[in-house]
Structure 1
Amino acid sequence: MENWNKEKVTPKRKTGLLQRLLSLAAAAALALSLVGCGSSAVVPGGSADVVPNPSSTAASVDAPFEMHFIDVGQALSVLVECDGQFMLYDGGNVDDGSLVVSYLQKQGVEELQYVFCSHAHEDHVGGLAAALAYFPANHVYSPVTEASTKCFRDFVKYTQQQGLQVEVPAVGTVWPLGSATVTMLGPVTQYSETNNTSLVLRIDYGNTSFLLTGDMENTAETDLVNSGANLKADVLQVGHHGSSTSTSYLFLNAVLPEMGVISCGTGNKYGHPHEETLSILRDAKVDVYRTDLQGTITISSDGQNFTVGTERFVPDSQLNPTDPSSSSTAQQAYIGNVNSKKFHLPTCPNLPAEKNQVLFSSYDEAIAAGYTPCASCIK
């Protein structure tokens, strides 16, 4: 695409989210100002920091892998390409179908190796019927094979017109996409809430990694973390369009992303992305990208480095306008001991070794996970 702003990304280790949140929580407990509490120390546990380079002459990485977050407004559609093979994760709303088809045509798509419907809501499945009507596919996946809405029935209809059936993939399934690997991580159990049924995919290319979560919310996030799945990723598709019902501290600590991409519509009626989510991402030092402000976002990788392209340049202060002085980290965090199953205040002198720690963003979250409060620090 023409006239895209580009930013070059270079490798750099970063401080773990748990350590950063602990320092902030401890500072809050001591009633210190949150301003200036962030740490810039470099320790093992991260992968890559974003280094903006607004110059139009900035060199792009030679990237056989690209992930396109198509600007479909208050919806989600992600095209992934590796070595000339393509997969589509969601297709936006029904009205976005022609836009998605046009975008895929411009990218040279002639065939889709895989089509994933993250879950059965229209803003994710709606445009897939149009894509399947135009592009041949090898496999089509969804967490369910039936739903009551016309848009989902059309999705099934155009899948069947290709002589295919909608398949429900199992956790742990691995698919090749060129030289990249796509792994199904969730959902790890059944849910009545449709958002929590979202197919969670991890994509690895070289030493770079990406996590697609659809509209997964806090309940499914917690279950996924507790499953022991490898969630650490460089780029996170922020769940549920940046809603506060997703992207818990616990989940973000497991992912430790460098970049978070939010797909949402300008001035949408839901207020996405919510300030709570933006605050959590800011506190975790995650670089935020947003389709409502920047348009379609493309991330290219050579297996080591990234180049990020956006249709419009927007300063960081607008991408994440939350006020550090009203940081959500002022809420109490708790540290669990995975061995004793007790949880503590960050200031407790009896904290376990870091390797045995698990972070909870609230008292109720720790209790729900089966932990009991430390009698010394929690009265």
Structure 2
Amino acid sequence: MITYIAGLLTVAFLPGLGYVLGAVLLLPLTYYSRLRFWTLTYLLGVLVAVVYGSWQLQHRLPLSLDRTDVVLSGVVVSLPEVTERRTRFILQVDTVQSDQPALQRLRRIRVSDYRSFTGVAAAPVHAGDYVQVTVRLRSPHFLQNPYAFDLERHFLSSGWDASATLRAVHQHTEGVWIYRLRDDLRSHIQARFHEQQVASWLLPAVTLGDRTSMTDAHWRVLQRTGTAHLLVVSGLHIAVISGAGILLGRLFNAALLCLRIETTRLRFFPLLLAFLLATAYAWLAGFNLPVQRAWIMVSIFLLGEWQLLRWSGWTRWRFALCLVVTLQPLAVLQPGAWMSFAAVATLLLMTDVYRGVRHTAWLGLVRAQWMIFVGLLPVMAWVFQQLSLSAPFINLLAIPVFSVFVMALPILLPLVLLDLFWMTQLVEKFLEFFWLGLVYGSEWQWGYRPLAKPNIWIVLFTLPLVLTLLLPLPLRWKLLGILCFLPLLSPRQQTLPEGNFRALIFDAGQGLAVWVETRDVSLMYDTGPGYPGGGSAWKYAMAPWFTAQNRRSLTHLVVSHRDLDHAGGMDDLFDQLRVSQLFSGSEDLQQQGFDSCHESQSWVYNQVSFRFLTQPPAADASENERSCVLEVRGSQCSLLLPGDAGHPTEYDLVRSGRLQPITWLVAGHHGSASSSSDVFVEQLQPQAVIYTAGFGNRYGHPADVVSERFRQRQIDEYNTATSGAVWLESTGKGCHLSTQRQRKRRYWTSG
């Protein structure tokens, strides 16, 4: 099994599927009988992953057809996610009115409907509806930033071949009732509870897997208390529902036995009922990838009982793991999959270690919580960058209480839908008190510790040491295990020598966000774009990096000017980071407490110079011409950040004599023709220019005339739209530039 999974992992880390041809070099190893089995299982894993990847990529919309308008029809197969800004749903494509083979191969696409936000009257979309629509297709090419969620991989593993914007609806009728049933159930639940009540968002999350009404504050509570597995449909829920099926089945059998009805086939009824309830619940929850994994695991364990197979728990565990990664080869990269199987493995280990030891039910529950906490500690530190000391204590009470509630759902939910007032009140009060308990637990100051993301090799090193804490070994061995956890809890941070700096230009779409660091200080230049309907790119483009690094403060924040594509993430930044000093060129922001950047201010930190280059602009200057122009200059390398400054500001800087040749230039105004004038570029003589433009943006950035200007001078060009985030590193060995898509290129990476 290990070599089979290793084969799957090998393909998952390849930059392209063509590289698997090198696996044929292993065929001679099959000549040796001792290596034959391991080699063949490894090659089988490689073959399965390649076939899966090739099949998925065959259906993906190619970049050459990006922004194509097409008429297609299909069925809405997901619960629509409705927000103030847009409605989003998954459309299973039936027919495509196009002769393009690539369009004919589309299976499922994610459609966003902005009509209501733009004021266009539109009928609401429901799950199961059959629609014929005109959409503008977009290839799955998304933002690429360090530690951020890989949406391109998510699209591939989910079988979504493109995203799309809905342009017009030509036909809209009720379609498949089995999908509509979930939508109707959500509507009935929301109608029974006021939107301010806890049950209005918690009950759909637990029953339907619908988390669209959950806010960042809700997720923060779950993260701090380690209870996300309770409110997100997972293996626990499927296992509890199947356990309820077995219990009900046995009670039914007991009633038949009391009536003297005996047959050997009765033993199958509890297992059948457990399987049916687990399947029904999995379907109700949307049958997404995590639910599929949980359903497969439960089904394997039930199958062993059905056939009276003499399979140990470990055999069933291995079989379930192999089946999951075969059907979903990219599950080997999904933390949720490994955490689910690791939790089950920990419980199996506890069963083996303490077999025959007499203990009460509460002692067994305490031991299980301790073993799961310790067993998953390395994984939690690496995946979520946190240590929740309160999680074992909270889960000790929360798991049995909430499990009883989940077991009762098949009875409670119909009674709620029948609008029995007392039952509705009972469910609301239970969920309200349960949530208040979690909120109280999340406020314990000692209960939560954020961590920096440790090195993967440190995590792998600590995994075997976990056994010293889980097994009944002498105390000295357990103390050794605890000491070995220290590098995991306090990973070493890389420091910079004097005179050096590093910068990260985030892939924020059509916006700008740059982080700069010396040995002792850090600075943020702009905060990325915000959106007219609310929200910003900060949460999913920049925030994951700061979380992974456990960075909670900035020395300086420079917001070049007030435009939404530069200042849109400011509120989200303040929610996550403490800032010592604020600068901006915008008069509006200066009135809110920002210092002006137009006073030729400068500082030197760790022998790295930071200097604002502009003078106070004219009273009638545009917002763009008020942009802060910041120069960062180390002992060997330099960086210039001009914001959206245009030709007038550039000409003033050239005349002032303050410009010096630089190493890296972030193109002004995302590469617009209104910036990066010929004389400005000639004065700077950069070695490389970086455009911060959105992929396929409607403005045509970077402009052809600007690109030609840099190409004529043989200046290297990079674009976050095609390269992802850009790393700039000034070291004693020189000036180095690398891109996120280079650093983390996989076979599904677009472009």
TM-score tier after normalising by the smaller chain length:
0.5 to 0.7
CA distance in 1, matches of 2:572, 2:558: 14
Matched, 1:299 2:741: no
Matched, 1:91 2:517: no
Correspondent of 1:110 among 546, 552, 561: 552
1:77 to partner: Cα distance: 0.2
1:103 to partner: Cα distance: 2.1
Correspondent of 2:635 among 187, 203, 206: 206
**Do the aligned partners of residues 207 and 128 (structure 1) sit closer, same or farther apart at CA in structure 2, a change above 3 Å counting?**
same
Which residue pairs with 2:679 in the alignment?
A: 250
Q: Name the stretch that deviates more: 125-134 or 73-82.
A: 125-134
Structure-1-length-normalised TM-score: 0.60
Q: Name the stretch that deviates more: 250-259 or 101-110.
A: 101-110
1:308 to partner: Cα distance: 1.6
Aligned pairs (5 A) from 1:37-76 = 65-76=501-512
Q: SS state of the match for residue 686, structure 2?
A: coil
Which residue pairs with 1:174 in the alignment?
A: 602
1:313 to partner: Cα distance: 4.0
Structure number with the bigger relative contact order (C-alpha 8 A, sep ≥ 6) is: 1
Aligned pairs (5 A) from 1:162-311 = 165-187=593-615, 189-190=617-618, 192-302=621-731, 305-311=734-740
CA distance in 2, matches of 1:303, 1:85: 19
**Amino acid in structure 2 at the alignment position of 1:286:** I
Correspondent of 2:571 among 129, 137, 146: 129
Correspondent of 1:78 among 492, 514, 527: 514
Aligned pairs (5 A) from 1:344-363 = none
**Amino acid in structure 1 at the alignment position of 2:602:** V
The answer (yes or no) to whether the contact 1:4–1:312 under 8 Å persists in 2 is: no
Q: Name the stretch that deviates more: 287-296 or 226-235.
A: 226-235
Matched, 1:119 2:561: yes
CA distance in 2, matches of 1:187, 1:102: 35
**Amino acid in structure 1 at the alignment position of 2:514:** V
**Amino acid in structure 2 at the alignment position of 1:176:** V
RMSD (CA atoms):
2.5
User: Percent identity between the aligned chains?
Assistant: 26
Structure 1 stretches lacking a partner, 5+ long: 6-61, 157-164, 315-379
1:134 to partner: Cα distance: 1.5
Which residue pairs with 1:357 in the alignment?
A: none
CA distance in 2, matches of 1:195, 1:187: 14
Q: SS state of the match for residue 588, structure 2?
A: coil
**Amino acid in structure 2 at the alignment position of 1:271:** G
CA distance in 1, matches of 2:679, 2:551: 38
Q: SS state of the match for residue 236, structure 1?
A: strand
1:181 to partner: Cα distance: 1.3
CA distance in 2, matches of 1:309, 1:105: 22
1:249 to partner: Cα distance: 0.8
The answer (yes or no) to whether the contact 1:206–1:304 under 8 Å persists in 2 is: no
CA distance in 2, matches of 1:4, 1:188: 52
The answer (yes or no) to whether the contact 1:205–1:303 under 8 Å persists in 2 is: no
How many residues of Structure 1 are paired with residues of Structure 2 in the alignment? Answer: 243
**Amino acid in structure 2 at the alignment position of 1:257:** P
The answer (yes or no) to whether the contact 1:241–1:264 under 8 Å persists in 2 is: yes
Q: SS state of the match for residue 502, structure 2?
A: strand
Which residue pairs with 1:371 in the alignment?
A: none
Aligned pairs (5 A) from 1:22-37 = none
The answer (yes or no) to whether the contact 2:636–2:730 under 8 Å persists in 1 is: no
**Do the aligned partners of residues 242 and 225 (structure 1) sit closer, same or farther apart at CA in structure 2, a change above 3 Å counting?**
same
Q: SS state of the match for residue 581, structure 2?
A: strand
1:107 to partner: Cα distance: 3.6
CA distance in 2, matches of 1:89, 1:71: 14
Q: Name the stretch that deviates more: 135-144 or 302-311.
A: 302-311
The answer (yes or no) to whether the contact 2:600–2:615 under 8 Å persists in 1 is: no
**Do the aligned partners of residues 196 and 170 (structure 1) sit closer, same or farther apart at CA in structure 2, a change above 3 Å counting?**
closer
CA distance in 2, matches of 1:71, 1:96: 10
**Amino acid in structure 2 at the alignment position of 1:166:** F
**Do the aligned partners of residues 270 and 241 (structure 1) sit closer, same or farther apart at CA in structure 2, a change above 3 Å counting?**
same
**Amino acid in structure 1 at the alignment position of 2:612:** M
CA distance in 2, matches of 1:4, 1:168: 48
The answer (yes or no) to whether the contact 1:187–1:200 under 8 Å persists in 2 is: no
CA distance in 1, matches of 2:636, 2:706: 27
**Amino acid in structure 2 at the alignment position of 1:169:** C
Q: Which has the higher helix share?
A: 2
The answer (yes or no) to whether the contact 2:560–2:586 under 8 Å persists in 1 is: no
Which residue pairs with 2:586 in the alignment?
A: 144
Q: SS state of the match for residue 537, structure 2?
A: helix
Q: SS state of the match for residue 706, structure 2?
A: helix
**Do the aligned partners of residues 222 and 303 (structure 1) sit closer, same or farther apart at CA in structure 2, a change above 3 Å counting?**
farther
